[in-house]
């Protein structure tokens, strides 16, 4: 058993619909954050008592489900589900409805940075999982919309090891590298890269 499989065994039993979403992701090879990172997102949203969460790049709603469960338990609020693909948005409505989370989810179809730019803040927590070439340009917009003391959680900051491959100059890999440089060298952020699954960077906005 590898570390990721072990971490998954420590995640409490989850609703059947969430497990079905994990099966669907495997079947269509869709890159969800998975149970260990999902449970960490749930914990971070609970710790920060988040009521307003904005997700950038929500897929068919797997990460949304973990954040929305926390928001419900925190007393209610809104999780923005934002994805550019209308089919994925529809699929998410189905899953999150079955999970009983519809009352705390708001759906937007569009490019996530553009949607965030035109949406009123502030947010308690922003989750960033957009296309990696877009990471650097997303940071100023996120910084503007997050409340002081708010959390930014960014997926794929280990990028399956591609960041260590000096021959890899692809725009996606360079995007992850540049975003890492920007946020770790900016004194307005306190950040830590948690090596769960593909690396979740957790950052506190001072």
CB of 25 to Mg ion, least distance (A): 11
- Beta-carbon contacts of residue 45 (< 8 Å; ≥ 6 apart): 53, 66, 67, 70, 71, 74, 125
Distance CA 113, CA 1 (A): 38
**Residue ranges in contact with ligand DHB by CB under 6 A:** 31, 129, 155-156, 160, 198
CA-to-CA separations, 113 to 53, 62, 93, in angstroms, rounded: 14, 20, 21
Residue 160 interaction partner, one of ligand DHB, Mg ion, none, beta carbon < 5-8 Å per kind: ligand DHB
Residue 195 interaction partner, one of ligand DHB, Mg ion, none, beta carbon < 5-8 Å per kind: none
Q: Any bridge partners for residue 189, and if so which?
A: 205
Q: Are 135 and 173 in contact (CB under 8 A)?
A: no
Select 77 or 175, whichever has its Cβ closest to ligand DHB.
Answer: 175
Q: DSSP class of residue 51?
A: S
Query: Which three-class secondary structure state does DSSP give residue 82?
Result: strand
CB of 172 to ligand DHB, least distance (A): 8
CB of 188 to ligand DHB, least distance (A): 25
Residue 124 interaction partner, one of Mg ion, ligand DHB, none, beta carbon < 5-8 Å per kind: none
- Strands of 52-56's sheet in order across: 105-109, 78-83, 52-56, 123-128, 146-154, 200-205, 189-194
Q: Are 126 and 145 in contact (CB under 8 A)?
A: yes
Burial status of residue 116 (CB atoms within 10 A of its CB: 0-12, 13-18, 19 or more): buried
Residue 55 interaction partner, one of Mg ion, ligand DHB, none, beta carbon < 5-8 Å per kind: none
CB of 156 to Mg ion, least distance (A): 5
Does 129 interact with Mg ion (rule: CB under 5 A)?
yes
Select 150 or 175, whichever has its Cβ closest to ligand DHB.
Answer: 175
CB of 84 to ligand DHB, least distance (A): 13
Single out the residue of 8, 55, 108, 155 in contact with Mg ion (rule: CB under 5 A). Answer: 155
Which residue has the CB atom at the shortest distance from Mg ion? 155
Which residue has the CB atom at the shortest distance from ligand DHB? 31
Select 31 or 149, whichever has its Cβ closest to ligand DHB.
Answer: 31
Distance CA 43, CA 130 (A): 22
Select 104 or 156, whichever has its Cβ closest to ligand DHB.
Answer: 156
């Amino acid at each position: 058993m590898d570390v990721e499989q072990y971490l998954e065994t420590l995640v409490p039993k989850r609703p059947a619909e969430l497990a079905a979403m994990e099966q669907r992701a495997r079947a269509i090879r869709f890159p969800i954050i998975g149970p260990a990172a999902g449970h960490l997102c749930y914990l971070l949203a609970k710790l920060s008592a988040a009521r307003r969460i904005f997700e950038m790049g929500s897929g068919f709603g797997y990460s949304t489900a973990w954040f929305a469960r926390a928001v419900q338990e925190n007393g209610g609020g809104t999780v923005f589900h934002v994805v550019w693909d209308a089919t994925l948005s529809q699929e998410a409505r189905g899953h999150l409805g079955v999970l009983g989370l519809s009352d705390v989810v708001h759906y937007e179809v569009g490019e996530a940075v553009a949607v965030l730019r035109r949406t009123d803040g502030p947010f308690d927590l922003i989750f960033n999982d957009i296309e990696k070439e877009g990471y650097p340009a997303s940071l100023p917009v996120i910084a503007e919309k997050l409340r002081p003391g708010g959390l930014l959680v960014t997926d794929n900051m280990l990028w399956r090891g591609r960041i260590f491959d000096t021959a890899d100059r692809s725009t996606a890999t360079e995007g992850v590298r540049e975003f890492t440089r920007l946020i770790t060298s900016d004194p307005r952020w306190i950040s830590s890269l948690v090596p769960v699954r593909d690396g979740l960077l957790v950052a506190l906005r001072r």
